[in-house]
Amino acid sequence: MPLVRLMRRPFFWILALAIAVFALAPVFGNNVALREALILDAVYITLASNLNLMLGYAGYINFGSIVFFGLGGYTCVWLVNSYHWPLGASLLVAGVCVSVLALIFGLGILRLRGAFFALATVGIVEAVQAFAENFTPWGGSSGIYLSGDIFTPLGGPARALWVIYFMMVAVMGLSLYLSYAIKSSKFGLGLLAIGQNEDAAAILGVPTPLYKALVYSASAFLPAIAGGLYFFKSAFIQPSDAFDLTLSTEALVVAMLGGQGTVAGVAIGAFLYEELRGYLLTSSMFANFQLFVSGALLLLIVLFFPGGLMGFIYRHFPRTQKVLE
Amino acid sequence: MSVLLDLREVSKRFGGLQAVRNLSFDVRQGEILGLIGPNGAGKSTLFNLINGVFAPDHGRIIFDGIDITGERPYRVARYGLARTHQIVQPLTNLTVLDNCTVGACFGRKNLPLARAHEAAREAIAIAGLENRAAMLALNLTIAEKKRLELARALAAQPKLLLLDEVLSGLNPTEVEHMIGVVRRIRERGVTILIIEHLMQAIMGLSDRIVVLNFGQKLAEGLPAEVARHPQVIEAYLGDPKLAAELQGAG
């Protein structure tokens, strides 16, 4: 759907306002602690929104979404470190490379359905992690450390962290608009049809193999850039951080918590989950307790709230369906 | 009349079962061709072969001058061939309108979304589902789901429509309504190949009938001719009620 038509809908502006508030909130009073919390929220929202393209729209459970994040991180950090590329170009190349790779993977594993597809995505995480651990240009299992002067082109460390924050919020915003634009398009309708009944969709004329491969590839682009930013900011990347299956699983929980297939729900779910996780991580009583909570949460959602937060809101306030996507 | 769909010596085997054997017939432009036969005669398999769910082991299927043998279902749909399912396959969590919009978007005309909505509304009106357009497909009654199957196929603006038992499971009033809908679709110039077990209905509706038994063609002709055909009567004698109906209809 053309941008102009999207802009006529209230949801476009609700989304724009939310992103603007998100971007500017830590600027007032130079609130660095808030900025660091929000940048993690932005990472989660980016991962969950893009995962939602597969899970909520096409109905494919992808346990391997973290691969996009990690590979994007590696590509970007590697280009910056070994070839002294500027950050922007490294991020873009990381996004494109990972998307192309996803397209190739996708054409292979998207012949599988249901549990078999889900298992194959776990296999991809393991395979890519093993690759990274043994690939010498990427430093093998000890990873890549960036030197201290990488932040100089961005105006020194203090300013660089702000620049990275705004870039991450932009990636998050683009993720949300990508979700929204796809949902409002013919492509999105085809994906939703696949998610409901793939055989019936094909008989109605939806080119299912192409659409699945395209959405898998599209769902890789922005997470790869987010990974590039994230690991550039850390100035360090290693396989166990980059390909942490936990984060993949958490992204699934978040998408289901918010309401798979919705744009706003997934973002709200990611935000709430990350806030909860932050609390559980820092509380002295519950070290690493967030994994238990996310498991329990997933169980409860699947059993009692299959529509997630948005499903609940839609049911009790049916009018919101017309405004909130 | 020119030939729209041409089946040439089509065969399909599933393990030890020869579901369709050396079957040839054609569907002519603008007609309603009825496909009857006892349970397990291979009727639904034939539909699956025509629209690409299965590829035939032998033979060719020519649609509107194009060889569609073994083409994937979504390609076949683009050429202008739509179908309904005997067991309804609604996209349950989409509205009736969205279900039909999928048909219109990805059917023969490959319409953009806005125009697909219009085509979908038109198809919904023909199927008599106007007041259900905004409802989720899962909340429809079985009769409405059957009509949704039809509306969705119709929204694709096909040249040929394959109807697989659209009347089964409906009460007499609903059957009457559905027959009216099928006739209206034909009046719009859509060619129809229809599978049906309700003899009375299919004999009245079809211009010609093809009878299948054990995957082979048993008879072909006008409804009255077919009903008098000795082998057809024999095939149905296993089911005296159907045989009587067949005689009555002829």
DSSP B137-200: GGGS-HHHHHHHHHHHHHHT--SEEEEESSSTT--HHHHHHHHHHHHHHHHTT-EEEEE-S-HH
A186 touches chain B (CB under 8 A): yes
For residue B87, the surrounding DSSP H or E stretch is none
Tokens of A277: 């996780």
pLDDT of B76 reads 96
Question: Which domains are present in chain B?
Answer: 1-54+164-250 (3.40.50.300), 81-158 (no CATH)
Specify the pLDDT at position A162: 95
- Write out pLDDT tens, residues B175-218: 998 999 999 999 999 999 999 988 888 999 999 999 999 999 99
E-only strand ranges, B41-110: 58-63, 66-67, 81-83
Q: Does A111 touch chain B (CB under 8 A)?
A: no
The reply to whether residue B51 touches residue A203, judged by beta carbons under 8 angstroms, is: yes
Nearest by CB to residue A203, choosing from B73, B92, B98, is: B73
- pLDDT for A288 equals 67
CA gap B210, B70 in Å, rounded: 23
Tell me whether residue A143 is in a domain. yes
- Asked if B112 and A208 come within 8 Å (Cβ–Cβ), the reply is no
* Average pLDDT value for chain A: 91
Q: Quick one: pLDDT band at residue B232, thresholds 50, 70, 90?
A: confident
Residue A18 falls within a domain, yes or no? yes
Contacts 24+ apart (CB under 8 A), A32-40: A32/A161, A35/A161, A35/A162, A35/A165, A37/A275, A37/A278, A38/A165, A38/A169, A39/A164, A39/A165, A39/A168, A39/A169, A39/A233, A40/A274, A40/A278
Q: Which amino acid is at A132?
A: A
Distance CA A174, CA A170 (A): 6
Task: Report the run of H or E that residue A293 belongs to, with start and end.
Answer: helix A290-304
Q: Which domain holds residue A115?
A: 3-244
Between positions 166 and 185 of A, the ones with CB within 8 A of B are: 185
Task: Select the residue of B74, B83, B152 nearest A206 (Cβ to Cβ).
Answer: B74
Which residue in B74, B93, B98 is closest to A205 by CB distance? Answer: B74
Task: Give mean pLDDT, residues B81-85.
Answer: 94
Query: Among B133, B127, B173, B131, which Cα is nearest to B146's?
Result: B127
Reference A180, options A12, A28, A4, A48; nearest CA is A12
- Secondary structure (3-state) at B70: coil
User: From the list B93, B103, B113, which residue is nearest A196 (CB)?
Assistant: B93
Q: What is the pLDDT of residue B237?
A: 62
> Which residues in B have their CB inside 8 Å of a CB on A?
51, 53, 72-74, 77-78, 82-83, 85, 89-94, 98, 101-103, 105-107, 112-113, 116, 152, 156
- Segment B151-175, tens digit of pLDDT: 999 999 999 999 999 998 888 998 9
Distance CA B8, CA B23 (A): 7
Helix/strand/coil for B134: coil
SS3 B135: coil
d(CA A60, CA B50): 29
Q: Note whether A199 contacts B113, CB cutoff 8 Å.
A: no
Mean pLDDT across B49-72: 95
Q: Phi, psi at residue B23, to the nearest 5°?
A: -95, 130
Q: Which of B74, B85, B109, B136 to mutate to test the interface with A (most CBs of A within 10 A)?
A: B74
Using a CB-CB cut-off of 8 Å, the residues of chain A touching B156 are: 204-205
Averaged in consecutive runs of 10 residues, what is the pLDDT profile of chain A (325 residues)?
Answer: 78 93 91 93 96 95 94 96 94 97 92 91 94 94 90 88 96 96 95 96 95 96 97 94 90 90 92 83 70 80 84 85 81
- ipTM field: 0.90
Torsion sign over Cα A67, A57, A254, A46: positive
Confidence label for B134 from pLDDT (cuts 50, 70 and 90): very high
* Domain-located, residue A286: no
Residue A314 included in any domain: no
The tokens describing A30, both together, are: 């130079």
Question: Is A285 a member of any domain?
Answer: no
The answer to whether A197 touches B88, Cβ cutoff 8 Å, is no
Domain tally for chain A?
Answer: 1
| Average pLDDT for chain B | 91
| A260 located within any domain | no
